Structure 1
């Protein structure tokens, strides 16, 4: 197997595995632990850097870093506006997802970010309509960030 193909497989497998763990934790505990998110972000960046070296594609690496910074900054701004509405774990996860999506291209980043908000809002509205939650309820958003990322990749 080619080095680049192996690195690509590791990126996808790692993102899928970490995403599954974080979805479960966020649904059960309403938190996204730094001890998982931060090392995962570092590992993802390292794998993408190795992929860039193997493929001589530094542009994809720079785009991934900028995408992580951009999506993380966007979520940080949302948290600044309403600290109760967006958790710090969501901000850090958004940066990780931004790296993953922007590595694929700007359209994937935009589609994945938008999909998270659309899906999360649809879920919240469905729960409200079914009277399973009150308007002030806190809904874990990490699962929607992760699922939105995969939807964004599929959409582009």
Structure 2
């Protein structure tokens, strides 16, 4: 994809970030928790441009790019809601899964590769089942929203293949561990402070798509 088109998609991502703020309703009502509406808006707009631009640069020739962008757009709102409220709203989770499914089905039909849909469904099932087991472990801090998000992200990751799915399942724990250690070292949190896991899941899925 040309630099001009990548820039155009990045600008679209900035608009998606702007639209994510009212979608994450809990975050809109929690300005004090995240440092004010203006700062949050600027950060989400920048994140949207980075996420969309990265996807366009890495997968510009892929017919499934619109599906990845649609999931990313919903993911911005999910990340914002989880950071502000420690909650992943079910309507947004359903929208993420629906965006992946509706975006990938026509690509499989156009390419004549229905087996990739089966791989996507298998990826969702493996992700969901794996995170159910993790959530049931003693002392686990995973919520069922995290489990459902993992299942939704398993659709596009499974579509890309098992290496991408494995990376998307492993990276969240590495990223989250680094963030937690940094927050503990700077005394921003305590060991018993509840922290969101959704942003780590979303960022890891994005990285897995870029590296697939």
For normalisation by structure 1, the TM-score amounts to: 0.90
Q: CA deviation at 1:96?
A: 0.7
Q: Mind listing any 5+ residue stretches in structure 2 that lack a counterpart?
A: 1-60
Name which of 132, 136, 149 aligns with 1:76.
Answer: 132
Name which of 142, 153, 165 aligns with 1:109.
Answer: 165
Answer whether contact 2:120 2:159 (CA < 8 A) is retained: yes
Higher relative contact order (CA 8 A, sep 6+): 1
Bigger Rg over Cα:
2
1:140 is matched with which residue?
Answer: 196
After superposition, where does 1:26-45 map in structure 2 within 5 Å? 26-45=82-101
**Comparing 78-87 and 102-111, the one that deviates more:** 78-87
Q: Does 1:21 align with 2:81?
A: no
How many Å separate the matches in 2 of 1:118 and 1:6?
28
Q: CA deviation at 1:153?
A: 2.1
Q: Mind listing any 5+ residue stretches in structure 1 that lack a counterpart?
A: none
How many Å separate the matches in 2 of 1:23 and 1:82?
26
How many Å separate the matches in 1 of 2:197 and 2:211?
20
For normalisation by structure 2, the TM-score amounts to: 0.67
1:12 is matched with which residue?
Answer: 68
Q: After superposition, what is the alpha-carbon deviation per residue over 1:82-139, rounded to whole angstroms, capped at 9, x for unaligned?
A: 4751111100000011111111111111112111111011101111111111111111
1:55 is matched with which residue?
Answer: 111
Q: CA deviation at 1:9?
A: 3.2
Answer whether contact 2:158 2:164 (CA < 8 A) is retained: yes
2:187 is matched with which residue?
Answer: 131
2:21 is matched with which residue?
Answer: none
1:140 counterpart SS class: coil
How many Å separate the matches in 2 of 1:6 and 1:127?
38
Name which of 178, 181, 194 aligns with 1:122.
Answer: 178
Q: After superposition, what is the alpha-carbon deviation per residue over 1:25-56, rounded to whole angstroms, capped at 9, x for unaligned?
A: 10001000001101321231122122111111
Answer whether contact 1:90 1:142 (CA < 8 A) is retained: yes
1:131 counterpart SS class: coil
